[in-house]
Structure 1
Amino acid sequence: MNNSGRNTSPRPGWHFDNSYTRLPEYLYARLNPVPVAAPKMVIFNRALAQDLGLDAGLLAGEEGAAVFSGNRLPAGAEPIAQAYAGHQFGHFTVLGDGRALLLGEQITPHGERFDIQLKGSGRTPYSRNGDGRAALGPMLREYLISEAMQGLGIPTTRSLAVVLTGEPVYRETTLPGAILTRVAASHIRVGTFEYLAAHKKPDGLRILAEYTLRRHFPDQIEAENPFLALLQAVQERQVSLVARWLLVGFIHGVMNTDNMALSGESIDYGPCAFMDRYDPATVFSSIDHGGRYAYGRQPFIAQWNLSRFAETLLPLLNENEETAVELANNCLNAFPELFRKTWLSGMRAKLGLFNEEEEDAALVHDFLACLQQAQADYTNTLRDLALETPPDGPPFRHPAFIEWQQRWQLRQSRQQEPIQASRELMDAHNPAVIPRNHRVEAALEAAGRGDYAVLETLLEVVARPYDHRPEYAAYREPPPASSQPYRTFCGT
């Protein structure tokens, strides 16, 4: 689409090179955002803007409100809605960007490439019965959680801005409309490959696979079998990502294949949440009735999703179908042990263990069993373990936990490193704060009333989660007791 007739912004520092639009056009639809009535900047990520090479001062005002609402296109933008499919709760569906538009790919001053996407920018050819819009609360949730994940050191899409549209959206109630600007290494998903496989586009599969290799795994292009190398590389990144989720108690909530980015970034913060009391069966999503995406099931779902990805690659892995299936299975069968080693390595660091011993897995699993039995807070217990004098409360007074502590201290004593080094290792891997669900809800509720101070303070707290700051001690407190389980909701 030619944007010559559209009000475009020649500044401030946009440098687009839109490689995805050079792929076959059945992978996307070209269209412009739907203009909104009265755009108003709600929150703007100045630090991220600067990293992207943008003029943060200019974009923080009316210019940014116009651009991030879709009312004004940045110079060089080529807006597209991307096509993809996905297994949603195990059921295959043809999807696409029903309320999002990729403006283009920003090249940073360091030569990095990032998608700039508007979420909530209006109807697209993939909207089905949706209105293409988004409400303020879910967009602020994505902004908050994605920035919290960044602070935790977990690969994630980022949030650049949230803009009020000045128009209502209609869900169960009437809500203020908003648009989020999302920044991602790319939006290539398992579901993108599923879309091509479902539409029997073998040439498109090869083109997209080669594109993904060039964009995310250039060191694998010259491999003996580059498409098998692609599967292996994607699997390694997903293993690392999901292990990191578990290590901080994060529950994605909707691990559909269209929400698995091949870049290895966490994407789509809908009904996500952080676990308080340790329980591998924890589910927060209101739509996950069977617990498919429970905290402890996330590794199994990641492997299931990768299996769907592998199925799309079979024609590329080998001309002989049996050989292709064997190659894919050999890769996928390595997932459980690769994940176990990755997660166990992370748990060793959280327990202040520098070396490896054969009984470490049992030590870790017994620790988690103690937490579950005592209904102990996952984050706080791990952080408190590093204290010279842990608090006198649950689970530290529980008989099984006392016996476990003795084993753990004996294990630490066999290391060459001093105990102080172990404590420093633990503090570096156990966050003092996470975005507690009750704190997130309080921030979103206040924002709904037009008070953004609560949200801004929470953002400041979660930006440095490993720092012990006495003034933010209240943010470590678990939620108050409630007869109702906490529930999160999808924003669509």
Structure 2
Amino acid sequence: MKLNEVTLSHHYANLGDAFGTLVDPTPFKHPHLIDTNPEVMQLLGIDSDEVTNPAWAKLGSGAKLFQGSRPFAMKYTGHQFGVYNPDLGDGRALLLGEIDSAGRRWELHLKGAGKTPYSRFGDGRAVLRSTIREYLAGEALNGLGIRSTRALCIVGSDEPVTREQIESGAMLIRVAESHVRFGHFEYLFYTKQLQALQQLVAEICQRFVPDTQGRSVGEQAEALLRFTTRRSAELAAGWQAEGFAHGVLNTDNMSIIGDTFDYGPYAFLDDYDPTFICNHSDHTGRYAFEQQPGVVLWNLNALAHALSAFVSVEVLRDCLEQFQPQVSHAYATRMRAKLGLTAEEDGDQALCADLLQILQLGEADYARFFRALAHYRGERPATGLRACVADAQHSALEQWLKHYDRRLARENSDSCIRDRTMLAVNPKYILRNYLAQKVIEAAGQGDYYPLRTLRQLLQSPFEEHPEHEAWAAEPPETGKRIPLSCSS
């Protein structure tokens, strides 16, 4: 499909005025294309030779709309740091419409498009820094097999935008199967728009829980909560296994279909520290790395409360009680794969926990250790692994490796096959914040080559890419724990 043939539909906007407001974007006067994502183009069925089409600059900045587009600002509310905020909604983004491709429906969302009725005191804009970070984050998590929103393109401008300082304005077209958040349900529940809430339940069920068609609203709401609970458990498990800290897990940043959503002060772990807080505004550590599964469950409770108009408390409680075993199972499955284990044994949880304690006390780089473990063949001394861990933990590491060797022996697996399978799940390249900052600084000077290079590495993070070794290097001390704000 050519770019000028893309035609959008509007299932969500057609639900009615209770769900948002039609708003025209406020385009940049002098937009320029920064990058277009070929993988997402393919996802949407857009021809690969359209990647350099000059129309991207206008489409990605709101200066031109896709055929049939009816930009729509979605209304929602949510709990922010545990406190309900009724004054939320798409304050700087517009749902452009939906595109069907290969049996799936994708929503296009223009972020940074200007003021809407839900902007409050904001300017409705996004800056180059935060836009690049979101663009790369979607590719990083998707490359690791963790569900995420993604972005089709980034467009820059010479328009000044004030955050902590004056920065350049930018926009991206975000792509997801749904942009509905937990907060959409909270808004309709707390404003007592129960007919609209029933509509929303039916709409999401029709798309993602289709076997509920024709059932009562109570049965649909229950099935939806079970679906979202399972997907959210898998999501949280993926974050914990891959060392990703979201930073702002408010209910308005939680996707109803379990995508990682709304990137702000996120970070991948460098040194393994379960208490790591990536958001410098999170003074209590509510969203610390180790707290994420519990916070996701807290958010699911808020969603369940919004569905209590249709479902009994007993049924809601039963739905939510599935979260802990689901997240534990999904996490254990991922960690066994990272350790090269195919069978399940009772002692695997303790084996994993003991290793994580060594990594924490040994200030080991999380991703680099597991990548090194993929190359481990039982050698002594285990030079590659010892190099990842502080000297004080070398003895503990040696003791752990003895247990690990015995566990591998019981697998009776081929070491070459295990090597390949572990390299396929333990990334060489992750989105470290100092790398993102390097890309942002280059882009600020008009050099987009580092951005494209890092995007491509994150899309295939398990490959060696020997010509790009520097992108997999251990971060300098100054590159760790970079302070991040909600405007990041």
TM-score by length of 2: 0.94
| Distance across 2 between alignment mates of 1:346 and 1:173 | 41
- The CA deviation at 1:26 is 1.3
Task: Say how many residue pairs are matched.
Answer: 476
Which moves more between the two structures, 467-476 or 254-263? 467-476
Amino acid at match of 2:142: Q
Counterpart position of 2:124 = 132
SS in 1 for 2:143: helix
2:18 alignment partner in structure 1: 26
Write the mapping of 1:282-431 to structure 2, written as runs, cut at 5 A: 282-317=276-311, 324-387=312-375, 388=377, 389=379, 390=382, 391=384, 392-395=386-389, 398-431=394-427
1:77-100 deviation line (CA, Å, top 9, x unaligned): 111000000111111112000000
1:483 is displaced (CA, Å) by 9.8
Q: Which amino acid aligns with 2:476?
A: P
Give the Cα separation in 2 of the matches to 1:233 and 1:316: 16
Amino acid at match of 2:276: T
Cα drift, residue 34 of structure 1 = 1.2
Secondary structure of the structure 2 residue equivalent to 1:299? helix
**Residue matched to 1:5:** none
CA offsets per residue over residues 104-162 of structure 1, 9 Å max, x none?
01112x13111111000000000000000111111011111111222112111111111
Distance 2:128 2:440 in 1: 9
Deviation of the 1:55 alpha carbon: 4.5
Question: What is the match of residue 100 of structure 1?
Answer: 93
Instruction: State which of 31, 34, 39 in structure 2 corresponds to 1:42.
Output: 34
Tell me the TM-score normalized by structure 1. 0.93
CA distance in 1, matches of 2:373, 2:64: 52
Residue number in structure 2 paired with 1:236: 230
Residues 199 and 186 of structure 1: CA distance in aligned 2, closer, same or farther (over 3 Å)? same
Conserved? CA contact 1:223–1:229, under 8 Å: no
1:123 to 115, 120, 131: 115
Partner of 2:239: 245
Paired amino acid for 1:384 = A
Alignment partner of 1:442 is 2:430: no
Amino acid at match of 1:325: V
Matches within 5 A, 1:56-75: 57-58=49-50, 60-75=52-67
Q: Aligned partners of 1:457, 1:73: CA distance in 2, in Å?
A: 29
- 1:333 is displaced (CA, Å) by 1.7
> Is the 1:396–1:402 contact (alpha carbons within 8 Å) kept by the matching residues of 2?
no
Contact 1:147/1:158, CA 8 A, preserved across alignment: yes
**Alpha-carbon separation, structure 2, partners of 1:56 and 1:429:** 28
Residue in structure 2 matched with residue 469 of structure 1 by the alignment: 465
- Which moves more between the two structures, 465-474 or 110-119? 465-474
Q: Distance in 2 between matches of 1:201 and 1:87?
A: 18
Q: Which residues of structure 1 form unaligned runs of 5+? A: 1-9, 318-323
Residue 422 of structure 1 and its aligned partner are, at CA, apart by 2.5
- Give the Cα–Cα distance (whole angstroms) in 2 for the partners of residues 271 and 404 of structure 1: 34
Distance 1:46 1:418, change over 3 A: closer
In structure 2, the residue corresponding to 1:482 is in which secondary structure?
helix
Change (3 A) 1:223 1:378: farther
What secondary structure is seen at the aligned counterpart in 2 of 1:115? strand
Residue aligned with 1:129, SS: coil
Shift of 1:59: 6.2
What CA RMSD, in Å, does the superposition of the two structures yield over aligned residues?
A: 1.8
What is the one-letter code of the residue matched to 1:408?
A: Y
Task: In structure 1, give the amino acid aligned to 2:455.
Answer: L
The AA in structure 2 aligned to 1:296 is: E
Q: CA contact under 8 A between 1:12 and 1:58: conserved in structure 2?
A: no
How much does 1:56 deviate? 5.1
Retained in 2: the 8 A contact 1:41–1:61? no
Question: Quick one: distance in 2 between partners of 1:410 and 1:78?
Answer: 61
Q: Does 1:212 align with 2:204?
A: yes
Which amino acid is the alignment partner of residue 19 of structure 2?
Answer: L
Cα deviation for residue 60 of structure 1 reads 3.2
Moved over 6 A (4+): none
Deviation at 1:286, TM superposition (A): 1.9
Cross-structure match for 2:160: 168
Do the aligned residues in 1 keep the contact of 2:160 with 2:166 (CA within 8 Å)?
yes
